[in-house]
A and B are shown apart, each in its own frame.
Chain A
Amino acid sequence: SQTIHQWPATLVQPVGSPLSLECTVEGTSNPNLYWYRQAAGRGLQLLFYSVGIGQISSEVPQNLSASRPQDRQFILSSKKLLLSDSGFYLCAWSFGLSGSVEQFFGPGTRLTVL
């Protein structure tokens, strides 16, 4: 069976500091990978998705970036955090096959920027 891991679970960072959130998937190959942000009391906003190593599509212009150095590893980064970057960050994966589009989510990282 497949599992998805995210860390850290919670993070408190000062404004202007860097960020690195990591997500890994086990039990599948060539997954599609996604980063979402959920602001307090809001829905999910797609930030990035990736269909393969080194392939990143950005959905929302911002000071965040994503990388996929390995098939089952997805990293969300920032060089300088803003207050508005606070939120709940969710990583998700889906099978890399057409017609199978449901996504499976990790436990999330709660980021507070002070």
Chain B
Amino acid sequence: AQKVTQAQTEISVVEKEDVTLDCVYETRDTTYYLFWYKQPPSGELVFLIRRNSFDEQNEISGRYSWNFQKSTSSFNFTITASQVVDSAVYFCALSEGNTGGFKTIFGAGTRLFVKA
């Protein structure tokens, strides 16, 4: 069975600090997809990134970076030089290939507070 664990319920940082959001996943499938979504106070989930199981290359997009490590079943998300606008709930999610991507399992989310 697939599972996503985001052990950090809430994180509070001061603006300009770096922050890492942890995500650990479980799956028996060899083909799977990992995602990060951002949910600002407005409520709408915003897709940030998708990673395929066969692509362990880390990715950087502006102040955002993602570290995918199959050896530890982790897909961590780092925000560099955090800003107040980064305050949101962040969800890590997993979709197994054998489900065709339909059954996406979300972690419980990490609420990030960035204080000015």
Contact = CB atoms under 8 A, between A and B. Distances in A.
Interface of A: 32, 34, 42-44, 46, 49, 51, 57, 59, 88, 90, 92, 94, 98, 100-108, 110
Contacts of B104: 46, 101, 103
Contacts of A101: 33, 50, 95, 100-101, 104
Nearest to A57: B102
Question: Most chain-B CB neighbours within 10 Å: which of A32, A59, A101, A104?
Answer: A101
A32 B102 contact: yes
A48 to B, nearest CB: 10
Contact of B106 (A43, A88, A108): A43
Contacts of A49: 102-103
B68 to A, nearest CB: 15
5 contacts: A42-B109, A46-B105, A98-B100, A102-B33, A107-B43
Given A43-B107, A102-B47, A102-B50, A107 B101 contact: no
Contacts, number: 55
Interface string B35-77: 1010000111111001000000000000000000000000000
Contact of B35 (A32, A34, A102, A106): A102
Given A44-B106, A90-B44, 7 more contacts: A32-B101, A34-B102, A43-B107, A51-B102, A57-B102, A102-B50, A110-B43
Interface of B: 33, 35, 37, 42-47, 50, 91, 95, 100-109
A26 B78 CA distance: 33
Nearest to A94: B101
Contact of A43 (B47, B101, B109): B109
